[in-house]
């Protein structure tokens, strides 16, 4: 099945991957106006800094007098994001304490006595690939459940169910990353070599990734088959996986287009679509949507509002990830960035193409997507000449403020502090 696959930087078209990369587009409100605080001061969308439009349309004719100070004044009375980490160290320890049970549930020898070698290997696959990293997605589900469920529903049994569901999301993430690293030819993940680069693994990692994903549905059936939200949970996992695969396909097709179209397909609209499908659905929408159903929240309008906001946060998260891929410290991020070498349609590349001179564009077209270290450095030099670190810093602050506004706009009774905490968790992150 996998005999024709290659890795180590070569294309593996048969595999589907995803990664932590997502993209941010400034999401417009469903309303033509923004409403702030109890005084309902109405501010036209047109009065927001025009530089925000740069990230959507590529308009570089910005007026300095319409700086972020206007946005800060308009947001002065918006509820600030929660201070501190969204999840405590105790909650992280409690979450990690459940993982050995997850492994045991999936590798019970009395259920698979005929294939003990496979059971042993599966345990190794799970322990190497699933519990590492920040576990933001699984912890986000637990946080959302605690903040959305009535106190009477927060029994130890219910919290444990939320923790198990959180590990199902972490397994989905691990499945995506195992294949993602193969396709990208990545070297490290979460501070150590990628799974497929282990001498005893190689291309077998493709089967291992599928092995991890299959465990999700074993756990869902074992723990949630009698729950009223079982169907919604299955549906959400299938939907998130399908959308992520579509986003990955668009990402791969865009990278492949360089050979024929150079960088002509690197537009902000295309980037936004890649990020929305490839990252935002499974990284932000899936954890909270699952928690809402587990908390007994099935109102369609509440789910719609939450989804709109969570996809926006996912976009914000991915732009940060794109920046760290190029300018982050591998010792902190846990991985060596390869977006330039892999010809990824990243936020940095798209914004650089919007702002570069004809000579700089020529350099980008000649060097982007190459593994030649000199060409990679040439792309980074163009990024620095354009001052992308400063552009990103401005973008991050303005986008953070705008998302705060969108949170304040929400109606329908959901706990807004949940969304403020999730936003605070990713603001100014460095890994």
From the candidates 180, 208, 339, 398, give the one annotated as an active-site residue: 180
Mean pLDDT across 6-18: 36
From the candidates 34, 99, 266, 317, give the one annotated as an active-site residue: 317
- What pLDDT score does 299 carry? 95
- Residue 211 falls in the annotated catalytic set: no
From the candidates 20, 181, 251, 398, give the one annotated as an active-site residue: 251
Judge if 84-226 and 228-430 fold alike in CATH terms.
yes
Q: Select the more confidently predicted residue: 337 or 314.
A: 314
From the candidates 175, 211, 224, 284, give the one annotated as an active-site residue: 175
Q: How confident is the model at residue 86 (pLDDT cuts 50, 70, 90)?
A: low
Is residue 62's pLDDT more than 60? no
- What pLDDT score does 412 carry? 80
186 C-beta neighbours (distance < 10 Å), count: 23
Mean pLDDT across 364-379: 96
From the candidates 20, 181, 208, 321, give the one annotated as an active-site residue: 321
Decide if 219 contacts 333 (C-beta within 8 A): no
- Residue 93 falls in the annotated catalytic set: no
- What pLDDT score does 231 carry? 97
From the candidates 20, 181, 184, 325, give the one annotated as an active-site residue: 184
Mean pLDDT across 410-414: 87
- What pLDDT score does 15 carry? 34
Is residue 236's pLDDT more than 60? yes
Domain positions in the chain:
84-226, 228-430
Q: How confident is the model at residue 429 (pLDDT cuts 50, 70, 90)?
A: confident
- What pLDDT score does 116 carry? 85
- Residue 180 falls in the annotated catalytic set: yes
- Residue 235 falls in the annotated catalytic set: no
pTM of the predicted structure, to 2 decimals: 0.78
From the candidates 137, 189, 276, 425, give the one annotated as an active-site residue: 189
CATH of domain 228-430: 1.10.600.10
Over residues 267-306, the pLDDT tens digits come to 999 999 999 999 999 999 999 999 999 999 999 999 999 9
- What pLDDT score does 110 carry? 53
Q: Select the more confidently predicted residue: 170 or 42.
A: 170
- Residue 419 falls in the annotated catalytic set: no
From the candidates 181, 322, 342, 424, give the one annotated as an active-site residue: 322
Over residues 258-267, the pLDDT tens digits come to 999 999 999 9
- Residue 344 falls in the annotated catalytic set: no
How far, in Å, CA of 17 to CA of 87, rounded?
28
- What pLDDT score does 114 carry? 80
Is residue 19's pLDDT more than 70? no
Is residue 369's pLDDT more than 70? yes
Burial track 109-138 (b if 16+ CB lie within 10 A, e otherwise): eeeeeeeeeebebbebbbebbbbbbebbbb
- Residue 2 falls in the annotated catalytic set: no
From the candidates 134, 190, 307, 375, give the one annotated as an active-site residue: 134
Mean pLDDT across 230-257: 96
Mean pLDDT across the chain, nearest whole number?
A: 82
How far, in Å, CA of 366 to CA of 422, rounded?
40
Q: How confident is the model at residue 430 (pLDDT cuts 50, 70, 90)?
A: confident
From the candidates 17, 278, 335, 344, give the one annotated as an active-site residue: 278
Over residues 101-159, the pLDDT tens digits come to 999 999 985 566 788 889 999 999 999 999 988 899 999 999 999 999 999 999 999 99
Decide if 168 contacts 131 (C-beta within 8 A): no
Which positions ≥6 away from 329 have C-beta within 8 Å? 430
Is residue 50's pLDDT more than 60? no
Long-range CB contacts (within 8 A, 24+) of 11-15: 11/183, 11/252, 11/256, 12/182, 12/183, 13/252, 15/179, 15/182, 15/183, 15/206
- Residue 184 falls in the annotated catalytic set: yes
Decide if 347 contacts 323 (C-beta within 8 A): yes
- What pLDDT score does 379 carry? 97
Q: Which residues pair with 192 in a beta bridge?
A: 189
Over residues 382-409, the pLDDT tens digits come to 999 999 999 999 999 999 999 999 999 9
- What pLDDT score does 37 carry? 31
Q: How confident is the model at residue 48 (pLDDT cuts 50, 70, 90)?
A: very low
CATH of domain 84-226: 1.10.600.10
Q: Which residues pair with 193 in a beta bridge?
A: 188
């Amino acid at each position: 099945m996998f005999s024709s696959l290659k890795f180590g930087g070569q294309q593996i078209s048969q595999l589907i991957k995803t990664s932590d990369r997502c993209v941010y587009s400034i999401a417009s409100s469903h309303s033509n106006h923004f409403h702030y605080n109890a005084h309902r001061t109405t501010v036209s969308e047109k009065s927001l800094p025009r530089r925000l439009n740069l990230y959507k349309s590529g308009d570089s004719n910005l007026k300095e007098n319409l700086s972020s100070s206007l946005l800060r004044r308009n947001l002065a009375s918006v509820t600030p994001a929660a201070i501190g980490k969204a999840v405590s160290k105790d909650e992280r320890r409690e979450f990690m304490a459940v993982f050995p049970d997850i492994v045991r549930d999936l590798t019970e020898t009395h259920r698979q006595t005929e294939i003990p070698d496979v059971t042993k290997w599966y345990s190794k696959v799970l322990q190497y690939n699933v519990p590492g990293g920040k576990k933001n997605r699984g912890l986000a589900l637990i946080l959302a459940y605690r903040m959305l469920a009535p106190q009477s529903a927060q029994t130890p049994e219910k919290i444990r169910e939320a923790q198990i569901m959180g590990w199902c999301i972490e397994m989905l993430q691990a499945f995506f990353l195992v294949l993602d690293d193969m396709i990208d030819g990545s070297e490290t993940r979460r501070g150590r070599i990628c799974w497929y680069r282990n001498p005893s693994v190689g291309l077998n990692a493709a089967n291992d990734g599928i092995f991890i994903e299959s465990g999700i549905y074993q756990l869902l059936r074992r723990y949630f088959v009698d729950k009223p939200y079982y169907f919604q949970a299955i549906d959400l996992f299938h939907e998130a996986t399908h959308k992520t695969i579509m986003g990955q396909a668009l990402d791969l097709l865009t990278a492949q287009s360089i050979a024929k179209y150079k960088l002509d397909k690197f537009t902000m609209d295309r980037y936004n679509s890649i990020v929305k499908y490839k990252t935002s659905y499974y990284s932000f929408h899936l954890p909270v949507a699952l928690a809402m159903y587990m908390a007994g929240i099935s109102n369609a309008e509440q789910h719609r509002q939450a989804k709109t906001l969570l996809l926006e946060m996912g976009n914000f998260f991915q732009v940060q990830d794109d920046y760290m891929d190029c300018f982050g410290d591998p010792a902190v991020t846990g991985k060596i960035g390869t977006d330039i070498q892999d010809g990824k349609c990243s936020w940095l590349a798209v914004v650089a193409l919007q702002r570069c001179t004809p000579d700089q564009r020529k350099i980008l077209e000649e060097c982007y997507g190459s593994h030649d270290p000199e060409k990679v450095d040439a792309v980074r030099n163009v990024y620095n000449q354009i001052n992308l670190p400063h552009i990103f810093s401005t973008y991050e602050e303005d986008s953070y403020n705008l998302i705060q506004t969108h949170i304040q706009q929400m109606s329908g009774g959901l706990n807004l502090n949940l969304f403020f905490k999730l936003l605070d968790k990713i603001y100014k992150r460095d890994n």
